[in-house]
């Protein structure tokens, strides 16, 4: 069932409740530059920046809903399937927005009205995922032929999408029909060469990326079930035929561990790439953020597969050959895998322009690298860390840290830092902080329990960073909450009568290692984080100095607090857990949803002041996008409003514009 509106409903009621959208489109008289959005994050380098200037800090307060679209692809999990999270960022193809739903349908709507133009339904087979995963599709990719003649023909413009059924699909961008000459009937089986994997152990949630005439992608590999997890291979396919052109198996030189499983072509347990990729067509490079080698919390059984894990890896787009790699975590035993899209921009250093890459991490670090070579632009720095973890573990004595942009996440947590709404619950939090070990963010996991601060969700996650090239500012949203990792000896785990994980309290078997892992958030008896607020923040960094320009709370406890304590002065700006990204405009705005409270917000790029806030029916845990079709058209800001694993599911795409 699909519902579209410029006001339609529940949509008439929705529009009245949310804003007051008109049935007629009124074009603003304010001229300005045209602005597209042909890639997931605006450009193939992921800057999340639009040159559009119509919406400004002065008039953003006048934004209203221009149109809404409901896909009907929504489940709260009560139907026996996994719940859905609508986290997609649409692309703009000419005058059409194209996006995917959590059920892997690809939908095209008129960019300025939301009117449905076509729908491609691959008929999703995998509908049940292990807790805490929800069904999600973050976006699609767009490719067009270089020649005018081919571009004008069938499938000369293609939408490429990857699915929970482990397929790569090519669709005609203008008609929504499968490109029959791509693979088999428009589909490529991503499980080819991968054996001994349950359907829920290996699938895709993020968009592929194109580099010239190759489409490249990785996949999600289910964490912490077993040391011989499905391979994390990265592959490149001919964008026209779907033929595999290359593969990159993250196996280091001199590897002497187990060979590929019989019948398979790739080594088990290698680092994967589940997040968003970037590319530079001039350099013929595709940039891969990698996850952990299996398993996340114990390294001694990885057979040396850490070389390319928790890294950013650059591959030749035409051949898959390794160009360079840079590791963000040495021997990662914290699930600090590289979740953020690498962001490409031109960085001015002492009067010269360097083709740069900004790589954010879950630790709140942002490394600046020369994207041609992978070398740190401002030099290397490593710090000494503790290595006294559990028996049998092998840990690195040092860890890399940024040498230019200062760490954006706190690295100290003491009992006196504990938060509480009352003296009593603050005391309980102080006791918990004192009970578990904490020697900084690289505290080794232990049997007694070690605090992880930042926790494995971040810091900075797949929302990545946004770059305003005109103001030379970098923006990022992040979380500042703690969790506990506790390693359980195998015999003790085997004797447990109940091995069920109940989110957010997780019990992970890590078969093939001497331990299982127990993970849980560090919360007060009232359910609030024990760490000092803000628990969510939005940060701006000056790219000329590496210093923070501002750091403000992002979100609040509304929609999570059991009582309306957010109405009490001082309790309404504690920050909120957040997942999703921001975008910046040339006019000086930063737009973001992301939070667990149901708001879309705009901040002044230069001051960090929150200057617009809009109440939503669901959380907006997706990166928004913005476009303007012509100098006389309206600038639109569009966001998927459809919840997350932690909030109610929805299926609403909302477009905002000035009257």
Catalytic residues: 335
Q: How would you list the strands of the sheet with 116-120, edge to edge?
A: 91-93, 96-100, 106-110, 116-120
Decide if 621 contacts 87 (C-beta within 8 A).
yes
536 vs 552: CA distance, rounded Å:
9
The full 3-state SS of 365-410, as one line of letters, equals: CEEEEECCCCCECCCCCEEECCCCCCCCCCCCCEEECCCCCCCCCC
Question: Residue 25, class by beta-carbon neighbours within 10 Å (0-12 exposed, 13-18 middle, 19+ buried)?
Answer: middle
**Going by DSSP bridges, is the β-strand pair 214-217/234-238 parallel, antiparallel, or unpaired?**
antiparallel
Decide if 616 contacts 605 (C-beta within 8 A).
no
The full 3-state SS of 624-651, as one line of letters, equals: CEEEECCCCCCCEEEEEECCCCCCCCCC
Encoding tokens for residue 620?
């907006």
Decide if 571 contacts 592 (C-beta within 8 A).
no
User: Is the backbone peptide bond immediately before 454 cis, with ω within 30 degrees of 0?
Assistant: yes
Reduced to 3 states, what is the DSSP secondary structure of residue 411?
coil
Count of Cβ atoms closer than 10 Å to residue 62 Cβ: 12
Decide if 289 contacts 339 (C-beta within 8 A).
yes
Reduced to 3 states, what is the DSSP secondary structure of residue 428?
helix
Encoding tokens for residue 12?
């008439």
HSE value, Cβ hemisphere, 13 Å, CA-based, for 580: 38
Count of Cβ atoms closer than 10 Å to residue 472 Cβ: 15
Decide if 592 contacts 612 (C-beta within 8 A).
no
Tell me which DSSP letter residue 427 carries: H
Count of Cβ atoms closer than 10 Å to residue 603 Cβ: 27
Which residues share a beta bridge with 144? 157
The residue among 103, 62, 93 whose CA lies nearest residue 156 is 93
DSSP string for 556-596: -STTT-SSSGGGSTTSS-S---B-S-EEEETTSEEEE--BS
Helical (H) or strand (E) element with 426 = helix 423-435
């Amino acid at each position: 069932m699909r519902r579209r509106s410029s006001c339609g409903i529940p949509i008439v009621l929705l529009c009245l409740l949310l804003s007051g959208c008109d049935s007629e489109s009124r074009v603003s008289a304010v001229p300005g530059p045209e602005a597209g959005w042909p890639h997931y994050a605006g450009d193939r380098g992921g800057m999340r920046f639009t040159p559009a200037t119509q919406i400004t800090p002065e008039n953003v307060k006048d934004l209203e809903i221009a149109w809404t679209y409901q896909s009907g692809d929504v489940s709260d999990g009560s139907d026996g399937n996994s719940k859905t999270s609508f986290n997609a960022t649409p692309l703009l193809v000419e005058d059409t927005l194209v996006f995917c739903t959590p059920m892997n349908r690809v939908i095209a709507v008129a960019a300025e009205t939301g009117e449905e133009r076509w729908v491609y339904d691959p008929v999703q087979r995998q509908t049940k995922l292990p807790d805490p995963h929800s069904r999600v599709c973050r976006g699609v990719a767009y490719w067009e032929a270089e020649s005018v003649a081919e571009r004008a023909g069938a499938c000369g413009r293609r939408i490429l999408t990857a699915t929970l059924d482990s397929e790569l699909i090519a669709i005609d961008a203008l008609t929504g029909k499968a490109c029959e000459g791509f693979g088999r009937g428009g589909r490529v089986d991503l499980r080819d060469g991968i054996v001994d994997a349950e359907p829920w152990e290996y699938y895709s949630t993020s968009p592929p990326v194109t580099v010239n005439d190759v489409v490249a992608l990785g996949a999600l590999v289910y964490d912490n079930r077993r040391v011989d997890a499905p391979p994390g291979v990265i592959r490149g396919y001919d964008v026209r035929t779907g033929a595999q052109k290359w593969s990159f198996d993250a196996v280091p030189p001199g590897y002497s561990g187990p060979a590929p499983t019989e019948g398979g072509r790739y080594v088990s347990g290698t680092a994967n790439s589940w997040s968003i990729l970037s590319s530079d067509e001039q350099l013929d490079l595709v940039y891969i953020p990698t996850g952990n080698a299996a398993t996340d919390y114990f390294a001694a059984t990885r057979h040396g597969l850490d070389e390319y894990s928790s890294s950013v890896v650059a591959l030749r787009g035409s051949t898959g050959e390794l160009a360079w790699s840079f590791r963000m975590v040495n021997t990662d035993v914290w699930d600090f895998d590289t979740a953020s899209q690498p962001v490409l921009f031109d960085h001015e250093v002492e009067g010269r322009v360097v083709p740069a890459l900004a790589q954010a991490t879950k630790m709140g670090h942002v490394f600046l690298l020369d994207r041609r070579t992978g070398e740190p632009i401002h030099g290397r720095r490593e710090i000494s860390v503790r290595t006294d973890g559990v028996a049998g573990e092998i840990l690195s004595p040092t860890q890399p840290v940024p040498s230019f942009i200062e760490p954006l996440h706190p690295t100290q947590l003491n009992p006196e830092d504990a938060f509480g709404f009352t003296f009593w619950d603050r005391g309980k939090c102080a006791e918990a902080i004192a009970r578990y070990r904490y020697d900084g963010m690289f505290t080794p996991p232990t049997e007694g329990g070690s605090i992880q601060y930042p926790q494995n969700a971040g810091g900075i996650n797949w929302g990545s960073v946004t770059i305003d090239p005109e103001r030379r500012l970098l923006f990022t949203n992040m979380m500042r909450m703690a969790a506990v990792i506790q390693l359980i000896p195998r015999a003790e785990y085997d004797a447990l009568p109940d091995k069920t994980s109940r989110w957010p309290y997780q019990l992970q078997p890590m078969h093939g290692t001497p331990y299982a892992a127990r993970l849980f958030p560090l919360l007060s008896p009232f359910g609030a984080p024990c760490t000092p607020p803000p628990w969510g923040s939005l940060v701006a960094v000056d790219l000329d100095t590496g210093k923070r320009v501002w750091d403000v709370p992002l979100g609040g406890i509304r929609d999570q607090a059991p009582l309306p304590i957010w109405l009490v002065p001082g309790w309404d700006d504690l920050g909120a857990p957040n997942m999703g990204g921001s975008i910046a405009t040339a006019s000086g705005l930063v737009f973001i949803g992301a939070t667990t409270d149901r708001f879309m917000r705009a901040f002044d790029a230069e001051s960090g002041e929150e200057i617009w806030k809009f109440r939503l029916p669901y959380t907006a845990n997706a990166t928004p996008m913005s476009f303007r079709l012509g100098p006389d058209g309206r600038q639109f800001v569009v966001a998927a409003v459809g919840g997350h694993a932690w909030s109610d599911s929805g299926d609403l795409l909302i477009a905002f514009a000035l009257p």
